Amino acid sequence: MHERGRQQPPGLQAEIDEYRAKIVRAERDYDDGLLEAADLKRNRDRSNEAIARLEAEIRALPRGAVHIPVLAVENPAQHFLDADLNTQRQTIEVLATVRLWPQPRGRKGFDPASVDVDFGDQVEIPVLAE
């Protein structure tokens, strides 16, 4: 079911992405009348449990030295903003765990309370300069 020519990210994050895609497909099927509410709930519950387990595995992995060019420049904030999306994602993945919570349907606007950012207990992350 992967798009042709599209490479999946490796490892645990790819599994998380697959479970999130299952939730999106189930929601779409529910909206199209192909699933009952109980089926949608069961799919969401199973997928969210798997995602939580995989995210816990990721958090438990030891963090060694990483290569993040954004952190090795004079103005890291501006470099981050100017960087491509993959560099921004890599930087965020190393520095923090970000969890987005669902927002109520029909609600317009962004609710900052729907985002959790966890910087973990690691005070210092060794960085390899370019």
**pLDDT tens digits along 17-69:** 899 999 999 999 999 999 999 999 999 999 999 999 988 887 776 555 445 66
Of residues 4, 3, 126, the one with CA closest to residue 66 = 126
Q: Looking at the whole model, is its pTM more than 0.75? A: no
Q: Where are the domains of the chain?
A: 7-61, 63-130
SS3 content of the chain, % helix, strand, coil (to 5): 55, 10, 40
